[in-house]
Chains A and B, each alone.
Chain A
C-alpha cells in the first residue's frame, strides 16, 4: 500500500512540476515575450490553471494524512520559505484572475501584470529552496540553538539557492516549450522558440550547478545517483534526449518537444525520488525521516490509497476531457506554426 502512496505522491509532484510549473513559467516568460505574449499566455492558461494547482494540494494532503510528521517537520523548520511561497501563490492567482476577468481593460492591467510576473518568479524559486532544504539535510533535530540555526540556516545557503534557481528555470523552460505549440503566428513562435532554447541552456548549466554545489556541502548527490540504477537510467535518458529535444525546438515540432520535455522532467523527479527513497527528510544529526518511520498507521494509509484510487478514477477522465476540449482544438488551429 505504502508503495502505491509514494507512487501517487510522485505522480502528483511530477504533474505539479509539469503543469503548475508551466503555469509559473508562463509568468516568467512574460518578462521576455512582450505584449503579444500576454494574450497567448492568458488564453493558454486561463482554462486550466486552477486545475493544475490542485496537484500541489494533492501532494500536501498525501503528506499530512499519510506522513503527518514529515509534513509538520517541513512546515515548522521551513516556515519562512513556505510562507513566501504562499504569498506568491496568493498574489499570482489573484493577479492572473483579476487581469483576465476584469471587464474593463485599462491601465490597472499593468499592476496585475506586474504582480503576476514577480510572484511567478518568486514562488518557484522558494519552492525550489524548500525542496533543496529537504534534500540538503540541515534541518535540526530539535529546538536547541538560535533562531538563525533553527529557522534560517536549513534553507538559507548556496545549495538551496541553486535548487531554487534550477526549479525556476525549469518552470520557465517548460512554459516556453508549451507555448511554442500555442503560438498562432511565426513571430511569436520564433520568440518562444528562442526563449526556450535560452532557458534550456541555462537549465542544463544550473542542473550541473546543483551537483557541483552539492559537493561543496558534502552532499554527494552525484555518487548517490550512480549508486541507484534508476538514478543512472534517469540521468542517461535525460542526457541522451538533449540533442533530440534541441533539434525539435529548432524544427518546431511542438508535440515531440512537449513529449521530450515531459520525459526529461519525469527523469528529474523519478531520479530524485529513487535516490532519496526511502528517506523523506534528511536531518542534521544524521538521522532520517523515512517512509517507514514516519508513516501513519496502516488503516489510515489503506483508506487514503482507496480514496486516491477512487479520486483518480473520477478525475483523470474529466481532466483528459478538459484537455481534449481545449488543448487539441487550439493545436488544430495552429498548423502553420507546426509546419515551420
Chain B
C-alpha cells in the first residue's frame, strides 16, 4: 500500500471512530439532563435511575472520545505536517476554544457523576446542563476548522505561503454555519435514535418495563425533533455547497455536464469513464430548485472542473444517497411517532413499533458516517479547497501502512469492547438494581 493512501485511510479510520463518540458526547448529556430534570420535577425514582444509567454511558463514551480526539490532534501533524505548518497559524484558534469547552465539559461531568451527594441540588443540575452545552460548543468549534478546509478564508496565498493571516475571518468562514448546524442536529438525531433502539430492544424482552419505556420516550422525543429539522438544514447546506463548492455538489449528484435546468438524480451507478449515471431515477428540474431555489437555474457540472481535480465521484455519490436515505427513514419514523403520540397512543407499545425502532438503531450513525464521507471525500483532491492538494500535505515518513494497520486494529478492538461493555451495562440493570447506588 502506498504511504499516501495509508495516511488517508488512517485519518479516515480515526475520524470514523471518533465521530461516533463525539456525537454521543454532544447528545447523551442532554438525555441525561432531561432525565435528571424530570426526576427533580416529578420525584419518580425511575427518572433518577435513568439519569444515573445514562450518566455512566456518557462517562464511558466521553473517555473514549477524549482519547481518540487526542489521537486526532496529533495525527493532524503526524500525517499532514505540510498542512498543519500552514493551517496551524490560521485555524488553530477554534481549537483553543474547543479545548476550553472540552475542559469545562470534563469538569462538569466530573461534578455531575461524582457530586450527587456532595454538592447542592441546583449546582448538580447546572453541572449536567453545563456538560451538554460545553459538549455542543466543542463540536461547533471543531467544525470551524473543517469548514475552513472547505471554504478557506482569512489569509492570502502568495507563492506557497499564507500571508495577511486573520484567524477571526478564518474561523467565521462561509461554510461554518451550515456545517455546524447540520452536524449538531446529526449528532442529536443519530445518538437519540441509537439510544431509543437499545431501549426498544430491551422493552421487547422486558415487556412494560417502566425504565425502558421512559428512556425510549425521552430519546425518541429528542430524536424526532432532530430528524424532522435535519432535512431543512440539509437543504440549506446543499444550497451553500452549490455556491461554495460546486464540484462537490456535482459529485454528490453525479452531474457530469452542466445543465439548465438540472434534474435530481436518485440512486444509480455513476460511470466516470463515460461520464454518465446508469440506472438512476431522474426528477426533472428538482436539482435546480434544491441547489438554487429556482426550477430553471443552471447547476454547474463536473465538466466545469478539469478531471484531475475531481473528487472520487462514485464514493461521494453513493455516500450522499445513503445519507439522504437514512435521513428520510428517521424523519418518517419521527413523523409516525408524533402521530402516535398525539392521536394514536396505543401504537407506541405495539411490538411492531418497537421492532421498527430496533431496526432504526444504526440509521443515524450510518447517516453521520456517510455525510462525513461526502464532505471529506467530496473535497478531494484538496486538503485546503483550491489552495493545497492533499498529496502535497502528506508526511515524508515511509511505512505509514503499519501505523494504519495498528490504528485500525485498535479501533476495531475498542469498538467491540465498548459495545460489549454497554451490553453488560444494560443487562446488569435487570440483574441487580444495586448498581444505581454505586456511583453515590
Q: How long is the Cα–Cα vector from A69 to B425 in the complex, in angstroms?
A: 45
List the one stretch of B69-77, B183-191, B196-204, B231-239 in contact with chain A. B69-77
- Of the candidates B86, B97, B110, B113, the one whose C-beta lies within 8 Å of that of A68 is B86
Q: A-facing mask of B425-440, CB < 8 A → 1, else 0?
A: 1001000000100100
Considering the complex, which residues of chain B in the window 84-132 have a beta carbon less than 8 Å from any beta carbon of chain A? 84-90, 92-93, 95-97, 99-100, 102-104, 106-111, 113-115, 118-119
Within the complex, the shortest CB–CB distance from A146 to chain B, in Å, comes to 11
Within the complex, the shortest CB–CB distance from A267 to chain B, in Å, comes to 26
Contact (Cβ within 8 A) B103 A51: yes
Q: How long is the Cα–Cα vector from A57 to B92 in the complex, in angstroms?
A: 12
Residues of B within 8 A of A71 (CB): 77, 84, 88
Closest to B396 in A: A143
Closest to A50 in B: B106
Within the complex, the shortest CB–CB distance from B410 to chain A, in Å, comes to 6
Q: Please report the total number of A residues contacting B with Cβ < 8 Å.
A: 63
Q: A-facing mask of B316-338, CB < 8 A → 1, else 0?
A: 00000000000000000000000
Q: Is A89 an interface residue (CB 8 A)?
A: yes
- Do A297 and B89 form a contact, CB below 8 Å, given A57-B102, A90-B414, A319-B107? yes
- Do A101 and B88 form a contact, CB below 8 Å, given A53-B66, A58-B99, A325-B115? no
- Of the candidates B81, B92, B113, B421, the one whose C-beta lies within 8 Å of that of A65 is B92
- Do A65 and B71 form a contact, CB below 8 Å, given A83-B78, A87-B410, A93-B66? no
Contact (Cβ within 8 A) A76 B395: yes
Within the complex, the shortest CB–CB distance from A6 to chain B, in Å, comes to 15
Closest to A302 in B: B167
Contact (Cβ within 8 A) A89 B70: yes
Q: Is A307 an interface residue (CB 8 A)?
A: yes
Considering the complex, which residues of chain A in the window 277-321 have a beta carbon less than 8 Å from any beta carbon of chain B? 296-297, 299-300, 303-304, 307-308, 310-311, 314-315, 318-319, 321
Contact (Cβ within 8 A) A72 B85: yes
Closest to A48 in B: B110
Contact (Cβ within 8 A) A103 B435: yes
Q: Is A236 an interface residue (CB 8 A)?
A: no
Residues of A within 8 A of B78 (CB): 75-76, 79, 82-83
Residues of A within 8 A of B395 (CB): 75-76, 79
- Of the candidates A66, A72, A93, the one whose C-beta lies within 8 Å of that of B84 is A72
Q: How long is the Cα–Cα vector from A50 to B68 in the complex, in angstroms?
A: 12
Q: How long is the Cα–Cα vector from A99 to B78 in the complex, in angstroms?
A: 30
Max chain A Cβ within 10 angstroms of own Cβ: one of B78, B110, B119, B438 = B110
Residues of A within 8 A of B160 (CB): none
Contact (Cβ within 8 A) B424 A68: no
Within the complex, the shortest CB–CB distance from B109 to chain A, in Å, comes to 8
Contact (Cβ within 8 A) A79 B397: yes
Q: How long is the Cα–Cα vector from A311 to B110 in the complex, in angstroms?
A: 18
Residues of B within 8 A of A304 (CB): 92-93, 96, 167
- Of the candidates B60, B66, B74, the one whose C-beta lies within 8 Å of that of A101 is B60
Q: How long is the Cα–Cα vector from A28 to B13 in the complex, in angstroms?
A: 31
Q: How long is the Cα–Cα vector from A65 to B96 in the complex, in angstroms?
A: 8
Residues of A within 8 A of B167 (CB): 299-300, 303-304
Q: B-facing mask of A56-73, CB < 8 A → 1, else 0?
A: 111011101110110110
- Of the candidates B103, B398, B414, the one whose C-beta lies within 8 Å of that of A54 is B103
Within the complex, the shortest CB–CB distance from B341 to chain A, in Å, comes to 32
Closest to A326 in B: B114
Contact (Cβ within 8 A) B67 A311: no
Closest to B166 in A: A299
Q: How long is the Cα–Cα vector from A56 to B82 in the complex, in angstroms?
A: 22
Q: Is B280 an interface residue (CB 8 A)?
A: no
Contact (Cβ within 8 A) A61 B99: yes
Closest to A311 in B: B100
- Of the candidates B69, B76, B84, B99, the one whose C-beta lies within 8 Å of that of A311 is B99
Within the complex, the shortest CB–CB distance from B321 to chain A, in Å, comes to 34
Closest to A151 in B: B397
Residues of A within 8 A of B62 (CB): 50
Contact (Cβ within 8 A) A307 B97: yes
Considering the complex, which residues of chain B in the window 260-275 have a beta carbon less than 8 Å from any beta carbon of chain A? none
Q: How long is the Cα–Cα vector from A98 to B67 in the complex, in angstroms?
A: 13
Within the complex, the shortest CB–CB distance from B79 to chain A, in Å, comes to 8
Q: How long is the Cα–Cα vector from A171 to B69 in the complex, in angstroms?
A: 23
- Do A86 and B106 form a contact, CB below 8 Å, given A72-B77, A72-B84, A300-B89? no
Closest to B72 in A: A86
Closest to B429 in A: A103
Contact (Cβ within 8 A) A303 B93: yes
Contact (Cβ within 8 A) A86 B74: yes
Q: How long is the Cα–Cα vector from A79 to B10 in the complex, in angstroms?
A: 14
Contact (Cβ within 8 A) A93 B64: yes
Within the complex, the shortest CB–CB distance from B20 to chain A, in Å, comes to 14
Residues of A within 8 A of B87 (CB): 68
Q: How long is the Cα–Cα vector from A308 to B66 in the complex, in angstroms?
A: 20
Q: Is A34 an interface residue (CB 8 A)?
A: no
Within the complex, the shortest CB–CB distance from A92 to chain B, in Å, comes to 8
Q: How long is the Cα–Cα vector from A23 to B149 in the complex, in angstroms?
A: 36
Q: B-facing mask of A30-46, CB < 8 A → 1, else 0?
A: 00000000000000001
Residues of A within 8 A of B166 (CB): 299
Closest to B400 in A: A79
Q: Is A97 an interface residue (CB 8 A)?
A: yes
Residues of B within 8 A of A151 (CB): 397
Q: Is A329 an interface residue (CB 8 A)?
A: yes
List 4 A-B pairs, minimum CB-CB distance, nearest first.
A65-B92, A68-B88, A75-B77, A296-B89
A-B contacts, 27 listed (Cβ < 8 Å): A48-B110, A50-B109, A50-B110, A60-B74, A61-B73, A64-B77, A68-B92, A75-B78, A83-B406, A90-B68, A94-B414, A102-B424, A103-B428, A103-B435, A104-B424, A143-B396, A151-B397, A297-B165, A299-B166, A307-B93, A307-B100, A311-B99, A315-B100, A315-B104, A315-B107, A322-B107, A325-B119
In the complex, given contacts A50-B109, A300-B167, what are 14 additional A-B residue pairs having Cβ atoms less than 8 angstroms apart?
A64-B77, A68-B88, A72-B85, A75-B74, A75-B81, A76-B397, A86-B70, A90-B67, A147-B399, A296-B92, A300-B92, A303-B167, A318-B108, A319-B103
